[in-house]
């Protein structure tokens, strides 16, 4: 399931009535481990603020998205939620949950946590309701609360965030049973990144791999340097001021460079959202068709009708090597030459490959740079200097 995460409603009255303070156990930045489903969880021991180190915790790769393992409540209760740079709120399903989707793991029970506290707002029942609908029509509604959030580290020194604002979902649909919710990682006020406090001023980086161990870094550990790093400007939009937008100047299919200049797509300042919570890359219909036509001119294999209903460009083939290399050209000379795995998805049974670029419809976010296209790049976000950086990296070996 593609999770194109666009928040369309988080009531203004909620935002205006919220005041929050956050402390953390380490001022040096921390690292979170990204691993495959089924790996052992880390210890839930909580340490004091005086035990400094570089916190490090597990998350889970779940085939189409990455799930971050974190603990909420006292005593800590572990959840596995989608790691999502495309949205703001950290939320999980809560008991009692009369209209929740089926969830494999136990659902969080606020009544068993000594640190759970419902937020109070100027509503009839003084609750702080929220509602989020995502691009794929999955949704969550519930109320806001403050709770302790704990993320563990390799040194055994967990990163502890008391009184963190989270969403307690009582009505949600459209999510896989392996998901316990979403961890919003943009830089809007209620995101996990913002609530970490001033010691972590909007620095994050990750390296996604379809196998082995991957990581996400926060604070000082998120710096990307060395040979091969390219950077592009992060744009702030008035419609979604906390989201990470880039400017896509062109897409090359082999040697055929297709400019966005002269298309409605190019007229936007910050025309594509970089989003770890969405699997595929989306382009607006008119420009998307130009890219697909360029691929069709190169590929000589038999075209297959996409039965998924997404009108993806699919072919019968025994090998991925027949497909052209695709390069994304972002502003400032950030040219990302993508591996064929990034841009062509093979069916489970093999023998069928589809271009991992979908054409967005009018109800969706117009353009999204999804997580599959980001595989094997060390990707860094620096909200202070408004830059996103990329470094080609074998993510399965980076921290092995």
Active-site residue set:
84, 275
- Adjacent-strand bridge partners of 150: 71, 160
Q: 34: Cβ–Cβ under 8 A, 6 or more apart, which residues? A: 59, 60, 61, 66, 83, 206, 207, 208, 209, 213, 214, 215, 216
Helix (H, G, I), strand (E, B) or coil at 390: strand
Distance CA(344)–CA(326), nearest Å, equals 10
Backbone angles phi, psi at 265, to 5 degrees: -60, -40
Distances (CA, A) of 18 to 11, 15, 115, 339: 12, 6, 17, 44
What gap in Å lies between CA 318 and CA 213, rounded to an integer?
Answer: 29
Answer whether 178's CB lies under 8 Å from 67's CB.
yes
353-382 burial, b if ≥16 CB within 10 A, otherwise e? bbbbbbbbeeebbbbbbbbbbbbbbbbbbb
Please state the length of the chain.
Answer: 400
């Amino acid at each position: 399931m593609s999770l194109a995460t666009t928040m369309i409603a988080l009531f203004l009255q909620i935002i205006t009535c919220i005041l929050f303070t956050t402390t953390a156990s380490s001022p040096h930045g921390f690292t979170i481990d990204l691993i495959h489903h089924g790996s052992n969880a880390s210890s839930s021991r909580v340490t004091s603020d005086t035990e400094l180190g570089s916190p490090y915790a597990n998350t889970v790769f779940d085939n189409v998205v990455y799930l971050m393992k974190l603990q909420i409540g006292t005593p800590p209760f572990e959840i596995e939620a989608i790691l999502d740079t495309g949205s703001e709120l950290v939320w999980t399903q809560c008991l009692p949950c009369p209209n929740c989707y089926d969830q494999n793991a136990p659902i969080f029970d606020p009544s068993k946590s000594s640190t759970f506290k419902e937020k109070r707002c100027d509503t009839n029942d003084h609750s702080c309701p929220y509602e989020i609908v995502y691009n794929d029509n999955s949704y969550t509604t519930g109320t806001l609360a403050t709770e302790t959030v704990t993320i563990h580290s390799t040194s055994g020194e967990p990163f502890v965030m008391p009184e963190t604002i989270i969403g307690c979902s009582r009505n949600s649909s459209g999510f896989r049973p392996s998901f316990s919710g979403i961890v919003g990682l943009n830089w809007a006020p209620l995101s996990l990144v913002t609530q970490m406090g001033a010691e972590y001023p909007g620095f994050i980086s990750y390296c996604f791999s379809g196998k082995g161990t991957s990581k996400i870094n926060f604070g000082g550990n998120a710096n990307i340097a060395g040979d091969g790093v390219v950077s592009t400007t992060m744009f702030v939009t008035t419609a979604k001021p906390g989201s990470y937008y880039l400017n896509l100047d062109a897409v090359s299919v082999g040697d055929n460079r297709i400019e966005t200049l002269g298309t409605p797509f190019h007229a936007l300042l910050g025309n594509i959202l970089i989003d770890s919570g969405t699997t595929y890359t989306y382009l607006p219909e008119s420009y998307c068709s130009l890219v697909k036509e360029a691929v069709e001119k190169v590929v000589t294999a038999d075209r297959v009708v996409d039965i998924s209903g997404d009108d993806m460009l699919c072919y019968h083939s025994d090998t991925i090597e027949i497909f052209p290399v695709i390069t994304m050209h972002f502003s400032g000379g950030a040219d990302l030459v993508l591996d064929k795995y990034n841009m062509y998805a093979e069916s489970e049974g093999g023998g069928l490959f589809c271009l991992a670029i979908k054409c967005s419809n009018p109800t969706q976010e117009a353009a999204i740079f999804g997580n599959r296209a980001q595989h094997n790049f060390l990707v860094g976000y620096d909200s202070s200097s408004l830059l996103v950086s990329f470094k080609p990296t074998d993510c399965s070996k980076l921290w092995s």
